[in-house]
Amino acid sequence: MTHYSRLAGTGGYLPGPPVTNDDLVARGINTSDDWIVTRTGIRARHLAAPGQTSCQMATEAALQALDMAGIAAADLDLIIVATSTPDYIFPSTACLLQGALGNRGATAFDVQAVCSGFVYALSIADKFIRSGTHQKALVVGAETFSRILDWQDRGTCVLFGDGAGAVVLEAAEESGILASALHADGSLVKILSVPGQIAHGQVTGDPFLRMEGQAVFKTAVRVLTEVARECCAAANLAPADLDWLIPHQANIRIIEATGKRMGLVSDKVVVTVDRHGNTSAASVPLALNEAVRDGRIRRGQRVLLEGVGGGFTWGALLFEF
Ligand code: ACO
């Protein structure tokens, strides 16, 4: 029997009050609201409180998504967390989340694809459900990037924020997720990385996020356009058939360039980067949750999600809500 997966619920969590660009200046960072807004479109971000973890934020987002879906945590049979900022080296954040939710027995694991992580994880969950082995999946993107930023590096520290977003997927007889496409190019490792590790009780290498901004910018616009077209073609749809585009929220100029290349008017593109900054794997599910909960995305509409990030990784997923 053919199984499809459909989105049954969404959730999102942002820690604390917004931290504006002027707040960063007041904290001693040598930048300005004008520079950040002009180059990136970012006006504010949320930052986790000391001790607040990716799993804690994931739990808040997951509970909202489960509530909307009307599904009990105990009934989940698959839990996937996309994160590059896990609470522990091990166990996975997915297992920590499973424990926090009180679920026992579900398949649980993390996906590490940086800012593409949520699109990777949702596509993986869809494949589990389509295979017929699993029926109820929780997919979360959760990040505390503020902990891996070099706050002395104004070229990166102003760009990111913390948060978590979640989706509950369930098996259905009608189509929900229509197509997905995932890619990576390991020759581009160096343009965006945290090139450190823990060994023998010490951090070795560099534990902070390093980025070649212009190389990331150019690569992101190219691959996001390519993968959007690939995903639409796999679903036998044209970009004009989309009701909504939800791209990774890194930079308004990348978002606008991608929308323009796809021929989409800007009011079909969901934007949160102005208020969230770049929350890596949390950015797409946070934007999705916002547009579902404020009534923009309605049942029956077609939505394209897109991720791009370190690896270099990129991917897209097209669903009918
Ligand atoms: N405030 C003020 N000035 C700054 C800041 C800052 N926060 N950061 C850098 N500058 C200065 C630089 O020192 C430099 O000054 P100089 O000319 O005197 O040397 C000048 O601004 C230009 O710096 P560039 O790095 O060349 O600026 P650029 O126009 O490339 O913009 C940016 C940088 C915004 C990072 C851009 O390259 C970009 O958006 N790249 C995309 C990367 C991205 O979005 N990454 C997010 C993560 S990746 C992902 O999620 C896929």
Residue ranges lining ligand 1, Cβ < 6 Å: 31, 35-36, 39-40, 115, 154-155, 158-159, 192, 211, 213-214, 216-217, 220, 248, 250-251, 278, 308-309
Strand, coil or helix: what is 196? strand
Protein residue with least CA distance to atom 11, ligand 1: 155
Q: Are strands 107-111 and 78-82 parallel, antiparallel or unpaired?
A: parallel
Partners of residue 204 on adjacent β-strands: 197
Pocket test for ligand 1, best of 185, 191, 216 (most atoms within 8 A of CB): 216
For residues 242 and 309, give the distance between their C-alpha atoms in angstroms, rounded to a whole number.
Answer: 23
Instruction: Give buried/exposed letters for 87-109 (b at 16+ CB in 10 A, else e).
Output: beeeebbbbbbbebbebeebbbe
Q: Please give the chain's pLDDT, 321 residues, in tens.
A: 567 999 999 999 999 999 999 999 999 999 999 999 999 999 999 999 999 999 999 999 999 999 999 999 999 999 999 999 999 999 999 999 999 999 999 999 999 999 999 999 999 999 999 999 999 999 999 999 999 999 999 999 999 999 999 999 999 998 899 999 999 999 999 999 999 999 999 999 999 999 999 999 999 999 999 999 999 999 999 999 999 999 999 999 999 999 999 998 889 999 999 999 999 999 999 999 999 999 999 999 999 999 999 999 999 999 999
- Which one from 46, 95, 157, 248 is the annotated catalytic residue? 248
pLDDT of residue 105: 98
Distance 39 CA to ligand 1 centre (A): 7
Report the amino acid identity of residue 50. Answer: P
Cα distances (Å, whole numbers) of residue 172 to 6, 175, 219: 6, 7, 36
Alpha helices in 79-144 (DSSP H): 93-101, 117-131
Closest alpha carbon to 311 in 84, 150, 40, 141: 84
**Chain Cα centroid distance, residue 98:** 19
Residues 6+ apart with CB under 8 A from 70: 8, 9
List the 107-111 sheet strands across, edge first: 4-13, 162-172, 136-144, 78-82, 107-111
- Which one from 21, 251, 278, 289 is the annotated catalytic residue? 278
200 catalytic per annotation? no
157 catalytic per annotation? no
Distance 157 CA to ligand 1 centre (A): 10
pTM of the model: 0.97
Helix or strand (DSSP H, E) at 5: strand 4-13
Protein residue with least CA distance to atom 9, ligand 1: 155
Domains in the chain and their CATH numbers?
A: 4-174 (3.40.47.10), 178-320 (3.40.47.10)
Closest alpha carbon to 146 in 213, 272, 47: 47
Strand, coil or helix: what is 158? coil
Closest alpha carbon to 78 in 142, 7, 126: 126
pLDDT of residue 1: 56
DSSP 30: S
Pocket test for ligand 1, best of 22, 194, 251, 313 (most atoms within 8 A of CB): 251
Pocket test for ligand 1, best of 191, 217, 278 (most atoms within 8 A of CB): 217
Distance 119 CA to ligand 1 centre (A): 26
278 catalytic per annotation? yes
Residues 6+ apart with CB under 8 A from 283: 115, 118, 141, 163, 165, 248, 249, 250, 272, 273, 276
The atom number, within ligand 1, closest to the CA of 309 reads: 51
Protein residue with least CA distance to atom 36, ligand 1: 213
Protein residue with least CA distance to atom 42, ligand 1: 213
